[in-house]
Amino acid sequence: MAAQTKKKVEVSIDIWEELKEIKSPGESYDDLLKQLIKEYNRQELQKKMKKAEEADREELVPLDEL
């Protein structure tokens, strides 16, 4: 696997302190950010699924109304 280029992300001291609080001992900030991105993507998918379910319910007609 080819070496990946690294980038720096500037954050405020407050945000850095919060990240440090939720980071596990020995966990890299890169791994922490990957985990946070994964969780964000899960939540976005759940929102989309809920929206799709709600749209499906709105389109359904009870059998006794047919």
| Of 1, 29, 5, residue with least CA distance to 17 | 29
pTM across the whole model: 0.70
| Band of pLDDT at residue 53, cut at 50, 70 and 90 | confident
Q: For residue 51, tell me if it sits in a domain.
A: yes
- Say how far apart CA 9 and CA 19 lie, in whole Å: 13
Residue 23 · residue 29 · CB < 8 Å: yes
Query: Does position 52 have pLDDT exceeding 90, yes or no?
Result: no
| Number of compact structural domains in the chain | 1
Alpha helices in the chain (DSSP H): 13-22, 29-59
- Domain containing residue 47: 28-60
The dihedrals phi and psi of 47, each to the nearest 5 degrees, come to -60, -45
Query: Does position 61 have pLDDT exceeding 70, yes or no?
Result: no
Q: For residue 32, tell me if it sits in a domain.
A: yes
